[in-house]
Each structure stands twice: as C-alpha cells, then as structure tokens.
C-alpha cells in the first residue's frame, strides 16, 4: 500500500505549474536534440550517449553534488539535538518520514532541502541560521524546507534545470570538437551546425525563465504550506525578516560563494546590490512573502 499523503496543504497551482514546466522543458529537449542529430548526423551515437549520460547524472547525482557544494555534513541526533528535535516535530505535524539531517559550516544564515524523493531527502541548516533564530522561527524555516520535499518540487527543479546545462555542454563540444571543420561551407547541415551556439543560447534562456518562474511560485507555496502546518505564520515572517537583515552583515566573499546555489536556499544571498541575480532572482521579494504571511495570519485569527 502506498503511504498516505502528508498533512501539508496541497497546492494545485504549484502542481499545474510543475506539469506545464516539465512539458515545455521536455519539448525544448526534444527540439534541441533533434537539431543536434540533424546537424551532426555522423556523430549521433556520441550525441545520444552524452545526452543520456548527462540526464542520468543530473537526475541521480545532482542533489548530492549540490549538497556537497553547499558544504552539507550529515549529523546525528547526538551531534545536533536541537536541529533533530525541530525536524522531528515538523515530521510529526506533517506525517512524513524523517529526512537526512545536515549542517553546513557557514555564517550565511540559510537552509535548503535536496533529494529526488522523501527517501533520499536531506534538509540542511547553516551554523549561521542555527545561531541566529529562536526555536519557533527555526521550526518555520524547516517546515518551509520540508514542504519542498512533500510537494516534490525539488526533484522537478533538478530535472528542469538539466536542459540549460546540456545546452552549454553540447555547444562547447560542437565548437571545440572539430565538428564544424568536417562540414563543407555550402552544406546545409554545416550551416545548421554553425547555428548550434545560437540555438543553445535560446534554449538556455527559455529554460532559465521557465525554471525561474516556477521557482518563485514554489517559494511562496512553501511559505504558505509551512505557515498553515505550524499555525504560526508570524514566526516564519520573523525568520524571513531576521535572515534578510543579517545578510547585509555577511562578508562579500561568503555571499559570493553561496550565490550560485540561491535556487536551493530559503533566502537568496546576493554578493552586491548590482548583482544580476537580483534581477533574475529565484525567489519572490521579501515584501511579497511577508504580505502573504500577513494575510494568512489574518485568516487564521478569524
């Protein structure tokens, strides 16, 4: 018998956006590989091996690679009793199996979740976050991260980001692998081959925008689900305000190291006010998140 659904509030809007994003990403993937096969007809076995291998690696290992890149170190209940205790409470509230629990040695106050499913899920908090938040605030943040696991949007984001990575890799192979030199200049396939960098750029841009739109919605969905599960939207709002304020005190070098992983984090880290990451942020603004929590608090009080 399959396990019953968790107690997190279902979000049909998130589900619809995930399905739409995966469909459009899949369509882009088919078109992109089709163009590659048409342009590099003599090298189709290489293309299939590369695309298949990258997809398998992206799906099976990207969560572990991301966790490693962010410095996650799995800890036992004896090593981190407060963190384990908070996650135990959230799991009990949500009726979910307990994920792996990790800590990252970083002063950047943040948290993240990775994993393809509940069985492989990992929830991590940084030492900076644990040092700064009160217990109820930490519970709100971890409930937010656990909702990503319950709604399975972590896995969808992992797969959705694959095509952008693939487009960049294939472009480098096409440009550096000498394929262009094997085509006569008046061959239509040779002309098509020259368009691969442009096609790759378009594919990457579309996949980037699709994943960013999904990412912003999923963060609002996670805030909403966490607030309803714990019944304390004010605690999550307090955590958001505190973490956002503390980011300005973090050294630029530390923020620069964290910035590439913003799509995974509870709160994005930007190394400068001029950062392009702010324009194409994976998260909604702090004001949008606080406004939603304020409305939820008013609804619950009624």
Active site residue 139: no
Nearest Cα residue to 51 out of 35, 26, 67, 33: 33
Establish whether 144 is an annotated binding residue.
yes
Nearest Cα residue to 216 out of 271, 149, 153, 132: 153
Q: What Å distances lie between residue 283 and 63, 116, 174, 177, 277, CA to CA?
A: 19, 21, 34, 37, 10
Q: Which residue(s) pair with 125 in the sheet?
A: 103, 111
Contact 189, 37 (CB under 8 A): no
C-alpha–C-alpha distance, residues 144 and 63, integer Å: 18
Structure-token match 């993240």, residue found? 112
Structure-token match 């990207």, residue found? 62
C-alpha–C-alpha distance, residues 211 and 151, integer Å: 16
Could you tell me the two tokens for 97?
Answer: 């199996």
**Exactly one of 136, 145, 259, 287 is catalytic; which is it?**
145
Establish whether 219 is an annotated binding residue.
yes
Q: What Å distances lie between residue 244 and 6, 138, 168, 234, 287, CA to CA?
A: 29, 14, 33, 15, 11
For the chain, where are the alpha helices, taking DSSP H only? 12-39, 44-69, 81-94, 127-132, 135-151, 153-160, 162-176, 188-194, 196-230, 233-247, 252-258, 276-279, 286-301
Establish whether 283 is an annotated binding residue.
no
Question: Binding site membership: which residues?
Answer: 144, 148, 219
Residues labelled catalytic: 145
Question: Binding site membership for Zn(2+): which residues?
Answer: 144, 148, 219
């Amino acid at each position: 018998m399959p396990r019953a659904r968790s107690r997190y509030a279902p979000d049909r809007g998130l589900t619809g956006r995930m399905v739409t994003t995966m469909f459009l990403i899949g369509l882009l993937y088919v078109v992109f590989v089709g163009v590659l096969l048409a342009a590099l007809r003599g090298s189709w076995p290489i293309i299939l091996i590369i695309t298949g291998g990258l997809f398998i690696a992206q799906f099976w290992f990207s969560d572990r690679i991301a966790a490693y890149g962010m410095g996650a170190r799995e800890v036992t209940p004896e090593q981190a009793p407060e963190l384990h205790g908070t996650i135990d409470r959230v799991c009990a509230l949500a009726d979910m199996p307990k994920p792996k629990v990790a800590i990252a040695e970083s002063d950047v106050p943040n948290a993240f979740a990775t994993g393809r499913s509940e069985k492989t899920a990992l929830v991590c908090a940084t030492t900076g976050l644990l040092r700064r938040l009160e217990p109820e605030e930490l519970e709100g943040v971890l409930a937010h991260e656990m909702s990503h696991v319950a709604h399975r949007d972590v896995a969808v984001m992992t797969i959705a980001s694959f095509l952008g990575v693939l487009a960049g890799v294939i472009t480098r192979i096409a440009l550096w692998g000498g394929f262009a030199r094997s085509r006569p200049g008046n061959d239509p396939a040779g002309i098509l081959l020259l368009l691969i960098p442009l096609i790759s750029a378009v594919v990457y841009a579309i996949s980037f925008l699709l994943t960013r739109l999904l990412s912003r919605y999923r963060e609002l969905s996670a805030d909403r689900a966490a607030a309803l599960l714990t019944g304390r939207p004010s605690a999550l709002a307090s955590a958001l305000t505190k973490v956002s304020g503390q980011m300005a005190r973090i050294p630029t070098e530390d923020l620069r190291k964290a910035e590439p992983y913003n799509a995974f984090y509870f709160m994005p880290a930007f190394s400068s006010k001029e950062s392009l990451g702010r324009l194409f942020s994976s998260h909604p603004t702090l004001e949008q998140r606080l406004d939603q929590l304020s409305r939820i608090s008013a609804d619950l009080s009624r």
